Chains A and B, each alone.
Chain A
Amino acid sequence: MRTRNKLLHCALALAIGTALSGPFTANAMDASDAPDLITIDSLTNLYGPVEFDHAMHADLADCALCHHHTTGIPAQDPNCLRCHATSGEADTVACADCHTADRFNKDYLESLDDPMLYHVDKPGLKGAYHINCIGCHVEVGAPSGCQDCHVMNDSGQQMFKTGDYAPDPQDHNNGGH
């Protein structure tokens, strides 16, 4: 009875899966599957959220440029291709699901000791965003200053001693050491 139920479930899942993937994008996601605008708010302790225009960026580049092998489109990085040339669409394509926000957490660092794991040097979420975004932005001449993407909020200004918290030049005008 149990096995029969399981089989039924599998068949149902397969049917739905086939129905969802269109005839031309067999086994691969499409940019239209993703929201047009994505709010990135993982650094809101220092900066305002970033409204990321996913639709615009999807027009400019292949999915694989940012999403590696996860969308089912072959990866561009030869390192990824060593294992993922035919691995198909992943369960998730969201950056945060693979790139951990707590990159240097003790438990996470210990989990990297697994000899079967090739992703030992995988950047955390913040690193992944910035390395990917800034790398490309510099290359194509798009804005690449910190505050071109996210404007510093009050606590950010406090940490960077800028804006309302900027040092008074008079205090540091003694010219000595």
Chain B
Amino acid sequence: MRQLGRFYLIAILLFLYTPIAVMMAMGFNESPLYELPFTFSTRWYEALLSNQPLLKAGANSIIIALITAVIATTLGTMASVALSRRTFRGKSLLQLLLLPPIAIPWLITGTAMLIFFYWSGIGRGMHALLIGHVALAIPYVVLVVGTGFKTVRADLEEAAMSLGSTPVHAFFSVTLPLLYPSILGAALFAFAVSLDQFVISYFLATPGYTTLPVQIYSAIRKGFTPEINAISTLLLLGSMAVILIFARFAKPGDTRDKR
């Protein structure tokens, strides 16, 4: 029975990873029409270096993800302080209001943003993408930092205050250092959410300002070469690295008391 279970899990992993591996391998195959037999070549990666639209879209993606991570982490951590440490009326309603960005299909949120941004004059482009990406990342930040708060005892801050520290000083010198792995984890998570976001970006991008996933999507629909495999491979490895570092920092299941 135990053997069967392990065999099954290996089959599941094969199912999950085979297409990805095939896609990555094809980026190193000489033939522009994905013909086999396989001939190793780095020509598609070399071609990437001179593909300005893709490179620009890639740079846009990284910049947007960095800014999103900074803004979403700052705002989300502030909200998390209030939601984790304060008691006030309407708290559960506010917590409920964090769900729509995660729970409503992005197609609906994305088209709604398109309508509102057009109608209100905000328009499309980089700033519109930022507004959307930060909104999608904030709930995750509140969640990750909120989990972090459960491991930091509230009485440490009270002790600091009773020793003459101001509330702000107590937070920055006692709670924040203990919370920093969660905050860093939340920032990485926000970065990954933004880097992989496609649907919202698709509706808010302009011909002059796109992100990598939007560019890949239009390439898939209009005809493409293994260059797309090459850039997809880089994107995939990039976000996998970010998530592995996140798992290292945030340890989502770890609720041990940090003293």
Q: Do A and B bind each other?
A: no
Q: Which residues of A contact B (CB under 8 A)?
A: none
